[in-house]
Structure 1
Amino acid sequence: MGTPLNPMLVLAAGLSAVASLLHLMIIFGGGPWYRFFGAGERFARAADAGRVYPSLVTAGIAAVLGLWAVYALAAGGLRLALPWVPQVMCALTAVYLVRGLAIVPLILFTRVAVTPFLLWSSGVCMLVGMVHLVGLYQAWPRMMGASV
């Protein structure tokens, strides 16, 4: 019997997968969904006008988040032939954490209006980043080939 899956990294994969699916739903929801999720009025108007750019950008983000979900499953113990799993996991965990913390300098050092979207999206990214970090810490010895 194989090594059991790491529950935190399975959760991390699920969170990234949900974020990926949500981005796909935004494409189909159009301008109102872009507005609701804080993408900005310019993106929302472009989506309302049928321009392809918002959909391409959003689909790209969905694809990246989906790939991150697959990497989290690989790091969590699912046997997938992916390159550089430890390195990719470190990088994507850092991206989530930095995105979560990015609001701090905005609040302290700029005059950018802190919107509810910035607050809750930063909190979500920080939470997802922390789930990844804990799972990565737990799985690190196995990923690096140490006996556990």
Structure 2
Amino acid sequence: MRSMLGDLNVWLLLAASLSGVAALLHVLIVFGGAPWYRFFGAGEHMARLSEARHWWPPLLTSGIAMVLGLWALYALAASGALSLQLPWPKLALCLITAIYCLRGLAILPLQALAPERVTPFLLWSSVVCLGYGIVHLIGLKQVWEHLQ
């Protein structure tokens, strides 16, 4: 897609930015501690573990941040903004897109089978993930022929 950015794919630049922001938020949650775990819907159990200075919340949240950062890197590379060659870009971007979309749509069977378990966090995070997935899908479709 040609734009003011030249030959860069704007949709994948947006996808990279979205994943990057999500990664940064996860890092900030680690430093923000229990109040941040509560605010972002991680659950009372994670918040209490964080208050107790247990190793699990920061390890899990940091791991998620690293995965999201890697996803941002894949989208950034596929956008044309980096001359970096990452392994299996087609496969990786297909999986990233599928994970975001499936996470976004996972709320539907939960809503049908156990509506009492659907929280506001699950609703809005599902919408966000589905949006991320759609942005990735549009960008991926546009660069598909150029990926290996």
Task: Report the TM-score range of the alignment, normalised by the length of the smaller protein.
Answer: over 0.9
Question: Which residue of 2 is the match for residue 86 of structure 1?
Answer: 90
Q: Does 1:66 align with 2:61?
A: no
Q: Which amino acid aligns with 1:141?
A: E
Q: Does 1:103 align with 2:107?
A: yes
Q: Which amino acid aligns with 2:15?
A: A
Indicate if the aligned counterparts of 1:10 and 1:72 stay in contact, CA closer than 8 A. yes
- Structure 1 residue 131: Cα displacement: 0.2
5+ unaligned residues in a row in structure 2: which ranges?
1-5
- Structure 1 residue 111: Cα displacement: 4.5
Match for residue 60 of structure 2 among 57, 61, 71: 57
Q: Which amino acid aligns with 1:61?
A: I
Alignment coverage as a number of residue pairs = 142
Q: Does 1:115 align with 2:119?
A: yes
Q: Which amino acid aligns with 1:9?
A: L
Alpha-carbon separation, structure 1, partners of 2:79 and 2:94: 13
- Structure 1 residue 112: Cα displacement: 4.1
Indicate if the aligned counterparts of 1:6 and 1:135 stay in contact, CA closer than 8 A. yes
Alpha-carbon separation, structure 2, partners of 1:46 and 1:17: 26
Percent of aligned pairs sharing the same letter: 58
- Structure 1 residue 140: Cα displacement: 0.5
TM-score (norm 2): 0.93
Alpha-carbon separation, structure 2, partners of 1:54 and 1:65: 16
5+ unaligned residues in a row in structure 1: which ranges?
none
TM-score (norm 1): 0.93
